[in-house]
Structure 1
Amino acid sequence: MATDMEVTYQGTVYPWHCDHMGHMNVMWYVGKFDEATWSLFARMGITPDYLREQERGMVAVDQRISYRQEALAGDVVLVRSALLEARSKVIRFCHRMENATTGDTLAITVLTGVHLDRTTRRSCPLPDEQLARAKAMVTEFDPGI
């Protein structure tokens, strides 16, 4: 069982990410978390090639976000990710966004994704290889939300 969260995204907060309050708008938190998600999925073997060639997809069915501190223009942020659960058709995972300079937690999100057959538009089991890789990545990290 994995114990550490892996870095799945690193980037900068640009002025256009900020709203009239002067901090990064919630839409950009979600966008950066989404980029981290695809990096995490690739580590499980759920790659763009796999999704295209097998006519598969991943759909989010639940997402919860806890905002902890502001991110400001010029801040470098990184996202660490962990798998919380891997079942035949379902993956539950979390991302923690941090200020790369201070290490402060900016936001935490927990998501539930379902593996989808894009032809039938129904959930379907993950292939054995991807499910085994996902199960090997499951951690006991408690996101606290």
Structure 2
Amino acid sequence: MSRWVPPPSDGTADRGALAAAEARTERLDAGARADTWLTYPEQKHHVHLSHTLTALGDTSRARESQARALEPSAPTSTMTRSLLTIDAAVCVHHDGDTEEACRRTVAVMAALSDAYRNGLVHRRASDLFRVIPAQHRDEAAAHELRDVLAA
């Protein structure tokens, strides 16, 4: 089964879609923003926004959303905290420190039980590994990340 890969983009359409989504989110009434399984609370919005901004390389805004998503997050919110930490690591990569990004992602993966180390968390960590430039693939941290992903 092959994975869908979006066509190359300069981000203009992505940023437009993001602005439209943010505008719709701001128009939600208090009931729609309540923290339930069927609503869209601020924390969930910032988790999604963090990943979107990270993917767009807007690391400053992504970090703001990561902080806002973590504020109400319980220490036991393993999945949320792991995804946000990987997003933060990808921001570090976007900002030029691939080695540190790999180290942070390895730390997240190593701290997780097997139940959390696969699925979406594994996918996000794998996405980081895939974008590591060739000149960084031989660094120890990149090897560690590759090994953690293969385990």
* Higher-helix-fraction structure: 2
Return the TM-score normalized by structure 1: 0.27
Return the TM-score normalized by structure 2: 0.26
Compare relative contact order (CA 8 Å, sep 6+) and give the higher one, 1 or 2.
Answer: 1
